[in-house]
Amino acid sequence: MTTIEQKLLEHKQNLTIVQAPAELEGRLRKALGHVGAQKRNGNRAKIWTASAAAALLLVVGTYQYPAFAYYGGKLFNKIELSSLSFSEVAENGYGQTVNKSETLDDGTVITINGVIADDNALLMYYSIDRQSGSVFADNGSLRYGVGQMKGFLTDSDPREGSGNHNDDETRFEGVYKFETVSPFSRTLTVTFSEWLASGEKASYPISFKYEANKAMKSILKEDISKSVSVDEGKVYYDSITASPTSTIVKGHFEMDDQGYPRFPGSTKLYVNGSEVKSWGMQSDRSAHKGMLGFELEFDVLPTDGVKTIELVLENFTGYQKIEEPISLASPSDLSFKIGDEKLWIRSVTKTETGYDIVIARKQFTILDTEHLSVQAGERVVPVASISPSRPWDLKNGNIMWEQTYSFNAVEEPESLLAEGFRYIKTYDKTITIPVAVKK
DSSP assignment of 335-358, as one string? EEEETTEEEEEEEEEE-SSSEEEE
pLDDT band at 156 (very low <50, low <70, confident <90, very high): very high
DSSP code at position 198 = T
**Mean of the per-residue pLDDT values for the chain?**
80
Residue 5 pLDDT > 50: no
Question: pLDDT tens, 191-230?
Answer: 999 988 888 999 999 999 999 988 888 888 999 999 999 9
Sign of CA dihedral 4, 5, 10, 13: positive
Residue 322 confidence (pLDDT):
94
Share of the chain above pLDDT 90, in %: 54
Residue 42 confidence (pLDDT):
44
> Which alpha helices (DSSP H) does 78-218 contain, by range?
78-83, 86-91
**Distance separating alpha carbons of residues 355 and 369, to the nearest angstrom:** 17
| Count, residues in the chain | 439
- Compute the average pLDDT of residues 318-334: 86
Residue 332 confidence (pLDDT):
65
Q: Which CATH superfamily is domain 78-214 in?
A: Conserved domain protein. (2.60.40.1640)
Residue 214 confidence (pLDDT):
86
pLDDT band at 314 (very low <50, low <70, confident <90, very high): very high
**Distance separating alpha carbons of residues 267 and 314, to the nearest angstrom:** 6
**Distance separating alpha carbons of residues 201 and 31, to the nearest angstrom:** 37
Q: Give Cα separations from 432 to 38, 120, 372, 422 (angstroms).
A: 49, 22, 41, 28
Residue 162 confidence (pLDDT):
84
For the chain, give every residue range classified as CATH 2.60.40.1640: 78-214, 220-316+426-433
Sign of CA dihedral 290, 296, 302, 308: negative
Residue 47 pLDDT > 70: no
Residue 14 pLDDT > 90: no
What is the number of other CB atoms lying within 10 angstroms of the CB of residue 140? Answer: 15
pLDDT band at 93 (very low <50, low <70, confident <90, very high): confident
Residue 39 pLDDT > 90: no
Residue 325 confidence (pLDDT):
94
Q: Helix %, strand %, coil % for the chain, to 5?
A: 15, 45, 40
Residue 36 pLDDT > 60: no
Q: 414 and 290 in contact (C-beta within 8 Å)? A: no
Residue 46 pLDDT > 90: no
What is the number of other CB atoms lying within 10 angstroms of the CB of residue 130? Answer: 21
Strongest mean pLDDT among 233-237, 298-302, 343-347: 233-237
Q: Which CATH superfamily is domain 220-316+426-433 in?
A: Conserved domain protein. (2.60.40.1640)
pLDDT band at 168 (very low <50, low <70, confident <90, very high): confident
Alpha carbon 305 to its chain centroid, in Å, reads 28
pTM over 0.75: no
Residue 304 confidence (pLDDT):
64
Residue 27 confidence (pLDDT):
45
Residue 35 confidence (pLDDT):
41
